[in-house]
A and B are shown apart, each in its own frame.
Chain A
Amino acid sequence: MQTAFEVGVFDNGAHRVVLTHDPEAPEVIRLEGIHKTYSMGDVEVHALRGVTLNIKEGEFVAIMGTSGSGKSTTMNIIGCLDSPTRGSYALDGEDVSTLSKDERADIRLRKLGFVFQGFNLLSRTSALENVELPMLYAGIEPAERHRRATEALHAVGLAGREQNHPNQLSGGQQQRVAIARALVNDPKLILADEPTGALDSRTSVEVMDIFQRLNRERGITLVLVTHEPDIAAYADRVVVFRDGRIQKDYRVNAPRDAAEELKNLPAVDEDEE
C-alpha cells in the first residue's frame, strides 16, 4: 500500500497546490439562501431551509448530520444533479442555479467528480473502461483515454487490476476505481456521499489516505458526507446539518493523517480479495 501514491504521475502537470487555509483562495462553492422543497401530493417536504455555505479552493470539508437533515440534498445541488427551489449557487464563480439539464451535465463532466457509498461502477465492465467512461463523454481520443485511465488507476494503487470487473474487486478496490473515475477528467471538485459507508475501518483509512493526498498534492477541493466523526476528523473543516439548516461549521485543529496511521497499522496481505 505504501507504493500506492506517486507524486507527479498526474496529467497536465496540474498540481494546483493551494494552502489549505488560504483566506485569499477563490471560492469554489458559494451557496446562498438555498431552499429545497419536495412536494409529494399535498405534503411539502422542506429538505433545505436556507443554507448558506462558502467553500474555498483546496478545502477538505466533511458534512455531518443526522439522517434526513439534508446532507444528500445539499450534495445533489452542489453536484449540479438537482436545482434549488430558491437561493443562488455559484460554482467556480459561475452561477449554476438556473442552468438547463444539458448545461448541468456539461458542468458535471468538466468540473465535478462523484464518489458514492455504493461505488456505482458499471457492472461487467472492466476497471479501465469504468475509468474511461467520463472521457468517452468528453470526446477524448481512445489512445489518450487509455493512457489517462491507466495512470489514474496507478495513482489509486490499482496497477495490474485494469482488466478486472467490479465483481472481481474488493469493496475498497471498487471504491478506488470510483475515485480514479472521479478524478480522470481533472475536476475542480470531488463530491463523496458516504464513501466509506460500505467499507471496513482499515479500508476506510486507505480511502481517506487517497482523498487526503488528492487534496494536499493536487489541491483538489473535497466535500465529503459522513455520519462517522472518525471519518470527519480527516477533513480540515466540518459542517453539521440539522433539519435542513447548518447547525455548526468549524475548523478541525489537527486533522487525522491517514498516511501516518497506515504506517502504524499492522500490514495486511497485498491482495485483499
Chain B
Amino acid sequence: MNVLAIIRIAFRALARNKSRAALTMLGIIIGVSAVIIMVSIGQGASATVQSQIASMGTNLLFVSAGAQNFGGVRGGAGDSSTSSPLTVEDLEAIRREVPSVAMVSPVVSSRAQLVAGNQNWSTQVQGVSEQFTDIRKWAVASGSFFTDSDVRTAARVVVIGQTIADNMFPGQDAVGQTLRVSNMPFRVVGVMARKGQDPQGRDQDDAAFAPYTSVQKKLLGNTRVQVAYVSAVSAEATYTAQTQIAELLRQRHKLGQGAADDFTVRNMSDVAEAANETNSTMTVLLGCIAGVSLLVGGIGIMNIMLVSVTERTREIGIRMAIGARSSAVRTQFLIESIVLSLTGGATGIVLGVVASVTVPLLLGWPTLVSTASIVGSVLFSAAVGIFFGYYPARKAAGLDPIDALRYE
C-alpha cells in the first residue's frame, strides 16, 4: 500500500473531526510558535549586542574598580568602601607606561538636573577625557568635543546628546548656549552624533559629557573613578594590553603574591561572552517551557489517537478482513498522528514567524527568525507525532480482526 494513499486517508480521517483535530494540535501549535518567537527574540537581541559591540571597536578595554563579580561590566562600580578605588593617577600611569595602550578615558557619572531657560531635563552626566570620542568612535555632530586643557582646568563645558539638544534647545543651535547643570552654569561646546537605542532599549542620545575633572569636583565632590575606557593600539594588542594593565595596577596597588585583583580589566570579547551567557540562559529557560508545552501537546495527540483507535475499531476490523496487514494499519495511524503533529507544527511555525515579524513593530525589540529553529521545530513535531502516535498505532495493529469486526 503506497504511502501517498495512506496520507490521503489520514487527512480525510482528520478532516472528519476538524475541531477535535484543531484542539489536539493546539499544544503543538503553542509549543512550536513559542520556540520560534523565543529563539527569534533571543537571536535578535544577541545580533544587536554583537553589532553594537563591534561598532564600539575591537580595540576597546574596560578597567573597573573592584574584583570581578557577577553582573558584568558594571562590577564594582560605586562601591569603593570595600575595594581600593581606581585613581586618576592609575589611569595616567596606564596611559604613560603601557606601550600597547593608545588612549584612556575615565568614566565618572552623576545624575544631574539640566536647566536652560524654562526647559528642564534630568540625565546622567558622564565625566570623561577628551579622548572619549576617539575611543568610543562616536563623532561630534556640531561644535566640538572639549579639549585636554578643559580637562586640566576642570572647565565648565558640556557636550550633549541629540535627545537633550532636541529637548532643551528646540529649534535652536545648542552650541554656545548656557546650560545649568545642578545649578552651575556650563557652556555647551558640542552636540554628539545621533546614536539611537542600545540593545537594552535605552536611548543613548540622552547623555551629557563633561570633563571628568569637572564632574568629580563640581558634581560629585570626590576624586574616585569607577570605570575607565582604554583603547589598545590595535585589535591584536588588546590581550597584551589587558595583561600589562593588570600587572601595572597590581604593582601600583601593592598587591602581594596570591592576593586577588582589586580591579577588573575586560576586553570586548569578555563583554560579548557575558551578554551571550545571559542570552543563552534565557534561551534554555524558554526552551524548557516550549519543550513542556510540546510534551503536553504530544500527550494530547496520544490521547486523541487512542480515542480514535477505539472509535474506529470496526473500521480497523474491516480493513484487516479485506486483507490489510497489521503494518498497513499501524502505518495508517502513525501517519495520522504525524500529520496531526506536523500540521500543528507548520501552523505553529507560521504563527511564530508572523509574531516574530510583528514583535519589532509593536514592542521595538529586534528579532531574527532562524532557519535552525524552523527546521528544528519540523523535526521535533514529527518526532512528537511518531513518539506519541506509536503506542495507539501499535494498539490498532494488534487488534484481532474477528473481535474488531464484532465491536459495536
Interface residues of A (CB under 8 A from B): 76, 79, 81-82, 101-102, 105-106, 108-110, 112, 114, 116, 120-122, 124, 133-134, 136-139, 142, 181, 185
Nearest-neighbour CB distance to chain A for B296, whole angstroms, equals 30
B405 touches A120 (CB 8 A): yes
Nearest-neighbour CB distance to chain A for B273, whole angstroms, equals 58
B402 touches A133 (CB 8 A): no
Nearest-neighbour CB distance to chain A for B31, whole angstroms, equals 31
CA distance A121 to B314 in the complex (A): 10
CA distance A101 to B326 in the complex (A): 8
B405 touches A82 (CB 8 A): no
A122-B315, A122-B318 given; A102·B323 CB < 8 A? no
Q: Which residue of B lies closest to A110 (CB)?
A: B323
A181 touches B2 (CB 8 A): no
Flag whether B20 is at the interface (Cβ < 8 A): no
Flag whether B322 is at the interface (Cβ < 8 A): yes
Q: Give a binary string over B43-87; 1 marks a CB under 8 Å from any A CB, 0 the rest.
A: 000000000000000000000000000000000000000000000
CA distance A166 to B258 in the complex (A): 89
CA distance A121 to B323 in the complex (A): 14
A136-B1, A137-B1 given; A105·B320 CB < 8 A? yes
Flag whether B123 is at the interface (Cβ < 8 A): no
CA distance A22 to B314 in the complex (A): 39
What would 6 more interface pairs be, CB under 8 Å, given A105-B320, A106-B325? A109-B324, A114-B321, A137-B323, A139-B1, A139-B2, A142-B5
Chain B residues with Cβ below 8 Å from A121 are: 318
Chain A residues with Cβ below 8 Å from B319 are: 133, 137
CA distance A120 to B406 in the complex (A): 10
Chain A residues with Cβ below 8 Å from B321 are: 79, 81, 108, 114, 120
A108 touches B326 (CB 8 A): no
From residue 293 to 332 of chain B, which have CB atoms closer than 8 A to chain A?
314-315, 317-328
Interface residues of B (CB under 8 A from A): 1-2, 5, 16, 314-315, 317-328, 401-402, 405
Set A76, A105, A110, A142: member contacting B324, Cβ < 8 A: A105
Chain A residues with Cβ below 8 Å from B328 are: 137
Chain A residues with Cβ below 8 Å from B318 are: 120-122
CA distance A102 to B327 in the complex (A): 9
Interface core residue of B317, B323, B325 (most chain A CB under 10 Å) = B323
B326 touches A114 (CB 8 A): no
**Closest 9 A-B residue pairs measured CB to CB?**
A109-B323, A108-B323, A105-B325, A134-B322, A137-B324, A102-B325, A120-B318, A137-B1, A81-B401
CA distance A101 to B321 in the complex (A): 11
B322 touches A181 (CB 8 A): yes
Q: List 16 A-B contacts (CB under 8 A).
A: A102-B327, A105-B324, A105-B326, A106-B325, A109-B322, A109-B324, A114-B322, A121-B318, A122-B318, A133-B319, A134-B322, A136-B1, A136-B5, A137-B322, A137-B325, A139-B2
Chain A residues with Cβ below 8 Å from B314 are: 120
Nearest-neighbour CB distance to chain A for B9, whole angstroms, equals 8
CA distance A81 to B400 in the complex (A): 8
CA distance A137 to B325 in the complex (A): 8
Nearest-neighbour CB distance to chain A for B299, whole angstroms, equals 28
CA distance A181 to B16 in the complex (A): 23
Nearest-neighbour CB distance to chain A for B397, whole angstroms, equals 10
Nearest-neighbour CB distance to chain A for B385, whole angstroms, equals 22
Chain A residues with Cβ below 8 Å from B320 are: 105
Chain A residues with Cβ below 8 Å from B315 are: 122
CA distance A143 to B240 in the complex (A): 77
CA distance A76 to B325 in the complex (A): 17
Chain B residues with Cβ below 8 Å from A108 are: 321-323
Chain B residues with Cβ below 8 Å from A102 are: 325-327
Nearest-neighbour CB distance to chain A for B81, whole angstroms, equals 80
CA distance A138 to B319 in the complex (A): 12
Q: Which residue of B lies closest to A134 (CB)?
A: B322
Interface core residue of B1, B2, B317, B322 (most chain A CB under 10 Å) = B322
CA distance A220 to B5 in the complex (A): 30
Interface core residue of B321, B326, B328, B402 (most chain A CB under 10 Å) = B321
Nearest-neighbour CB distance to chain A for B309, whole angstroms, equals 15
Q: Which residue of B lies closest to A125 (CB)?
A: B12
Q: Which residue of A lies closest to B314 (CB)?
A: A120
Chain B residues with Cβ below 8 Å from A185 are: 323
Nearest-neighbour CB distance to chain B for A134, whole angstroms, equals 5
Interface core residue of A81, A106, A112, A124 (most chain B CB under 10 Å) = A81
Nearest-neighbour CB distance to chain A for B175, whole angstroms, equals 81
Q: Which residue of A lies closest to B324 (CB)?
A: A137
B325 touches A133 (CB 8 A): no
CA distance A139 to B314 in the complex (A): 23
Interface core residue of A101, A105, A124, A133 (most chain B CB under 10 Å) = A105
B1 touches A133 (CB 8 A): no
Chain B residues with Cβ below 8 Å from A142 are: 5
Q: Which residue of A lies closest to B318 (CB)?
A: A120
A122-B315, A122-B318, A137-B1 given; A116·B405 CB < 8 A? yes
Interface core residue of A121, A122, A138 (most chain B CB under 10 Å) = A122
Nearest-neighbour CB distance to chain A for B267, whole angstroms, equals 66
Chain B residues with Cβ below 8 Å from A137 are: 1, 319, 322-325, 328
